[in-house]
């Protein structure tokens, strides 16, 4: 990613609800498994997967909006 894109991505991550932001950081920056993330966040793997999908949809929409601006 270019620097501007990276900055916009971090801005979008920062706007996520706190739990979703923590989840994205665990899964993609610390490269923790879904199982381990569920243990850390004290929820089920299904919840981790659902929250991850929702967070990625939000981030994808934010980045598409940024690109079209």
Q: State the maximum Cα–Cα separation within the chain, in Å, rounded to a whole number.
A: 39
Tens of pLDDT along 5-33? Answer: 888 899 999 999 999 999 999 999 999 99
- Structure-block tokens of residue 48: 């981790």
For the chain, the average pLDDT equals: 92
Within its chain, how far is the Cα of 33 from the centroid?
A: 14
Could you tell me the pTM of the whole model?
A: 0.84
pLDDT at residue 69 above 80? no
Q: What is the pLDDT of residue 50?
A: 97
- Structure-block tokens of residue 40: 């850390």
């Amino acid at each position: 990613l270019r620097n501007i894109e990276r900055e916009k991505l971090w801005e979008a991550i920062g706007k996520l609800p706190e739990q979703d932001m923590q989840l994205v950081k665990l899964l993609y920056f610390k490269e923790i498994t879904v199982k381990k993330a569920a243990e850390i966040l004290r929820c089920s793997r299904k919840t981790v997967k659902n929250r991850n999908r929702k967070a990625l949809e939000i981030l994808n929409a934010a980045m598409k909006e940024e690109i079209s601006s």
